[in-house]
Amino acid sequence: MNIRHLDLRLSTFGYLCCGILLSTLLSAAPPNDKGKPPKDDPPPSSGGPVSYRAVVIPNPYPADLDVRSINAWGEVCGDFTYDGLIGGYTASEAFYWDGRDALTSVADPITLNELVDVLSPGSRDGWLITHAEDINDLGQTCGWTFKDGQWSPYLFDPNAVAPASPFIVLTHPTGLENAELGALSLNNSGDMVVQALKSSGEYFLYSTTTQTWTPLQTPVSKRFDSLSNRDPVTNTVYVIGGPGRMLIDPDTGQVFPSADVGGISINDYGTMVGTMEGSKGVRTAVYEYTDSLEILKNGRKDLDGRAPDNNNSGDISMHSPNRLFTRDHGLLDVNSLLDPVDAAIFPEGVPGSIWAISERTEVGFPQLLLHRHSIDAEPYREGVLLIPQPPSN
């Protein structure tokens, strides 16, 4: 592949796409607080099987497309990846894709650099937005940005009202002014998990409300991957990773009793999923706790495969193979759920790996975001969105 020249000047095509996207964002901004479903009463599923429609995310550039995250509304973020290096890392550029109406109108992804330049010309001030790691239900995005040899975490907020800028580069904490920092995870309150690379391997919980940095103590060999939304009563969040689960007040930095069992993804109720390997192969581990941190469930033996994500309804996505677990329907083979209309596109089954899932839609099932790989054609990586529909039969 050829390296795309990242000169960040908007083409006529970019202006048109941005204009359409801007009007969509401003007219259809999601509510500030959707509320959480009762723990033991998830949104109802349909009475029978669901049909998933497949939409391949368009890629207008000579680059690989890596999906990272999807929110409750079907908005997706990720990166375009190119040959070459930026700041010592693989060259990339963050993108946003609006998949909310993907079954009726499929738009091209747009880079966050272009989008910020339309919403607030000049506010990037030379920063290159290279990675989009997570997107919350407000359409806010976090990740990595680079300028003059410096890597920093950022918050992109398309709902910001002037004179506030939609693009904010976080000021580094004391002692890490020159460290390489990037944001990994973001909740609906703007709290972030931030990682320091190459220096000490430290992790932090950052509050955009108070600009507070809370160190997440962990060995260098471990990492924190996910955080929950704030509890509306206690204002606390769960943060998880290899070291375990922590309960923190992001505004004060107070850390409450924590669990020494970790995972990859956590929902707003503190239920974690991860992967464990043993004599019976790879299994999905599910950890549910009481208030005293007693483990209620530790490793569902019937869930074979790796679990990258879960939601507030207890749904769990798995890959190797691609499966979906719901409390209503148990373990489901995603290939068997593909709508016949799209089955011809994937004659050998749904390709790639389920990377992330959304909250449940009105159909009663989540949207599934897949990372699709190809070994014989460029681009080698692309994204596929599976959208639940009422069963066609």
Name the strand (E) or helix (H) holding 119: helix 112-119
Average pLDDT, the chain: 80
CB-CB neighbours of 189 under 10 Å:
21
Q: Determine the 3-state secondary structure of 149 from DSSP.
A: coil
Least confident of 147-151, 229-233, 373-377: 373-377
- One-letter identity of residue 64: D
Least confident of 11-15, 77-81, 194-198, 358-362: 11-15
Least confident of 24-38, 83-97, 115-129, 205-219: 24-38
Least confident of 128-137, 139-148, 333-342: 333-342
Q: State the Cα–Cα distance between residues 313 and 91, nearest whole angstrom.
A: 37
Residue 130 has pLDDT above 60, yes or no: yes
The length of the chain is 393
- The DSSP output letter for 68 is E
Q: Is residue 337 within 8 Å of residue 52, measured between CB atoms?
A: yes
Residue 304: the pLDDT is 63
The more confident residue out of 83 and 18 is 83
pLDDT digits (tens, 9 = 90+) for 205-253: 999 999 999 998 765 556 788 899 999 999 999 998 877 788 899 999 9
Q: State the Cα–Cα distance between residues 317 and 369, nearest whole angstrom.
A: 10
Q: If you average pLDDT over residues 330-335, what whole number do you get?
A: 86
> What is the value of pTM for the model shown?
0.83
Q: State the Cα–Cα distance between residues 96 and 111, nearest whole angstrom.
A: 6
Angle at 98 (CA atoms; ends 7, 72), nearest 5 degrees:
130
- One-letter identity of residue 319: H
CB-CB neighbours of 101 under 10 Å:
12
Q: Domain 12-28+46-389: which topology?
A: Methylamine Dehydrogenase; Chain H (2.130.10)
